[in-house]
Amino acid sequence: MRLIVSSLPVTAPVPCELWRFPLDQHLSAAAIATLSADEVARARRFVFEADRHRFMAARAALRQLIGQRTGTPPAALRFATDRFGKPALATHDGLQFNLSHSGATGVLAMSARTALGVDLEAVRPVPDAESLAAAYFAPAERAAIAACAPNTREIAFLRCWTRKEACLKAIGIGLNLATASFDVGVDADTRRVEIATADGIERLWLRDVDAGDGLVVSLALRVERALAAQPSPMPTPAEESFA
């Protein structure tokens, strides 16, 4: 029995796919059988059964969707991680993917053209939004959070957080770079983002995606890396190319 997945429409500069799936859905024995021994062992380390189930559902959905995309049996897929822990396919080098889950929902982004990152947060109370913003957000973002009305501050915080996470996942660094070192804004807009890393200036395309009520989803696509010693201006929309 196949898992329930649904495609999320997204307009981007390059072809990419974005999928959403519930993590509390029934897991058949056939779906569980697609998981590797390592994935099963990781699932067993969760204390609560609900968390074990959601982890296995996310991994089974990942395998089902990538297997469908590559024409590979889900159980035959093999994964590797880079020095920062970002997962990748051990085969099918051209396919990039990124997985995120929060609460009872998971999302998967895939592209054969460029590296990408996706992040998902379920909307929930964040009573310490201002103090967290002070610790992890850029100055303009902190000011924007402080200026929000109380009833919009939490969603603005979660949006900014998912946008930062998506960008860091797209360049493969994760939280190994200070999140306050670059600005993604707190609005649900589409923009280009520059991030200075030890290897150069990373340029990304960033937008929010409508995944339904109660969810905040951000998608980032890696545009290019410019040498740190020779930064170049961001291309205009007409000039931008992913060739």
pLDDT tens profile 167-209: 999 998 876 788 999 999 999 999 999 999 888 899 999 999 9
Last residue of some domain: 60, 90, 118? 118
Last residue of some domain: 118, 140, 161? 118
70 CA to centre of own chain: 20
Same domain, 125 and 222: yes
- Residue scoring higher pLDDT (189 or 85): 189
Same domain, 150 and 199: yes
137 part of a folded domain: yes
Structural domain including 175 reads: 121-226
Claim: this prediction has a pTM higher than 0.85? yes
Mean pLDDT, residues 57-85: 93
Q: What is the pLDDT of residues 5-17, one digit of tens each?
A: 999 999 999 999 9
Same domain, 77 and 142: no
CB 106 within 8 A of CB 20: yes
CB 211 within 8 A of CB 120: yes
- The whole-chain average pLDDT of the chain stands at 90
> Count of domains in the chain?
2
Same domain, 113 and 136: no
Same domain, 16 and 102: yes
The answer, yes or no, to whether residue 106 has pLDDT greater than 80, is yes
Same domain, 144 and 215: yes
Q: What is the DSSP string of 186-223?
A: SSS--EEEEEEETTEEEEEEEEEE---TTEEEEEEEEE
Query: Confidence class of residue 84 from pLDDT cuts 50, 70 and 90?
Result: confident
